[in-house]
Each structure stands twice: as structure tokens, then as C-alpha cells.
Amino acid sequence: MSGREKFAVFTIDVETFSDTGCLYEAGIKVAEDMLDGLDEYIRILERYGIKATMFTVCEAAQIARDAIADYIRRGHKLAVHGLDHTAPLDMNDEQFWRQTKEAKARLEEMFGVTVRGFRAPFFSLDNRKLEILRSLGFQYDASRTEFGGARHGGRMDMSDFAQLLAGMFRQNGFYECGISCQKMFGQMMPISGGGYTRLMNWMFLKPVIRKYLAMSDYYVFYLHPFELSHRTAPHIKGLRSYDRYYLTRGLSVFPDRIVSIIEMLKEEGYRFVTFEELVDIMESRRVGAR
């Protein structure tokens, strides 16, 4: 373990099962929301004293309102994941401004907190949309990915930002916080949760994550409620074979993988924080350095 301080952030994209990419893009609506997976995730994290950052779609917030309010009271943090699950790069700037402003206002009114962060559905964001977030009063975004295969994924140029950690950047008081990626098979691949961690062969992936954690100072984990739900997903006709594979593969082993990653992070001396806490830490260091 190195002497430098290392930070781990555990997040969840709080969205309904119908918001899952392959269903949303096909316009398929299902009655089962699978939001009980949020409860299971919080149970796992709280066993280790970890607080989550909950990037929340407004519709899902309404459905799980009581649970989210309780988790906020227990120290977990709320952030925006959209008015709905539309990819921001599928919207023009005015639409994105209007919908994101409304989503922020709705969540703040619903839960009586100030929302400081945003994560784009599908990690779909670019520098123009980033400036819109800044204009709306957000302090950080968590949409950056170096994975070129993300659906609707955007590219953000960080050349005008100061890099603070392996995936965290700052410019004029605004922070961009990426998901963790590692080079595999000749390209950058996410090792930060979601389907990537669930679908890959664990005997291959675990040592890759362990090596990354030993060398890095920043790790982000994320998932979706359906991936930890105890409910049975409905059979959906007309899905492509890969989409059916994505929706079902690895669900039973995912909780154990989350615990394994948490244990690896503890062994490497990572400090567990929310994005809100991490931004505050970086801001206080900047003030102290003056």
C-alpha cells in the first residue's frame, strides 16, 4: 500500500427497469420497476459504513420516494440522473437545459436538499453540455468515460482542466469525475461496475481490478437497481440475444463481486467517500494551499 491518500466512491443510477438502455431505446415499458435493488445495494454498503451517491431519474425518485428520503437521512447523497433517461446528446442544448433544470428543481423540492451533482444517462455528455450544467448551479458531473463503446457516449476534452486524481478534474470550482477504466484487449475498458463487472469472467477481471487499485488513487463503482433486485424480471419478447444476455447474466454472483471489490479497496487503504465529500475535500485542500 502506498503512502498517498486514495479515494473510492460508490454510486448507483436510480432508474426503473424500463430505463435500462436496451429497453428504453426499443420503447419497451414493463410494469416491474426492480427498484428494490436500491435497498439491497444500501444494505451491502452500510455493512461497511459506506455512503452512496444516488444519481436519480425523477420518475424513479417518485416511485421510491420514501426509501430515498430515508437513505438521505442516513447520510447517502442525492444527485440528478435526468428528468427521464434520454441521452443528453440526443437533445439540443435548449432541451437539455430545460429538462435538467426541471429535474434538479423537482428532486430538491421532493427531498428538501441541495443537489450538487449530475450523471448523464448512457454517460452521454460533451463540453457544451458540461457548460450548461455549470450554468444551472451544479458543482460536479460524473459522466466522463474513456470507454469508446458506450452507447451514446460523448467525449469531453479535459485539456483546460487540472487533473487532481486518476479520474478527477477541476476547472474554476467545477469538477468532472469519471468512471474507472483500465486498458484491456488494446482499449480502455470500464472496471467500475455495471454490466462490465457483472458480465466479465471474474477469474480474469479480479486481478485486473486489483492491479488498478494498487497503482491508482481513485476508484468509482456504479450499478443499476435491477442488477441487485430480488424480483424476477419479466420475459420480454423481441430482445436481441445480447440484450437478453446483458439483462440476465451474472445477477446471482454480483453481490459477492461487490463485496470482493470493497475488500480489495480496504486492503489497498482506500477512503470511502461520496462525490460530494470528495469535492469538498479537494476544495478545502485548494483553500489551504493558498
The strand ranges marked E within the chain are 6-14, 52-56, 77-80, 117-118, 140-141, 162-165, 168-171, 174-177, 181-184, 187-190, 218-221, 270-273
Task: Return the C-alpha cell found at 28.
Answer: 419497451
Q: Using CB atoms within 10 A of its CB, is residue 2 exposed (0-12), middle (13-18) or buried (19+)? A: exposed
Residue carrying the nine cell digits 431505446: 25
- CB-based contacts of 264, cutoff 8 Å, min separation 6: 206, 209, 210, 213
Q: Is 84 helix (H, G, I), strand (E, B) or coil?
A: coil
- Give the pLDDT score at 25: 86
The strand ranges marked E within 40-143 are 52-56, 77-80, 117-118, 140-141
- Give the pLDDT score at 275: 98
Taking the chain (290 residues) in runs of 10, the rounded mean pLDDT of each run is: 83 97 90 97 98 98 98 98 96 98 98 98 95 98 84 81 97 96 90 93 96 97 98 87 93 97 98 98 82
- Give the pLDDT score at 223: 98
- Give the pLDDT score at 87: 95
- Give the pLDDT score at 237: 86
- Give the pLDDT score at 1: 42
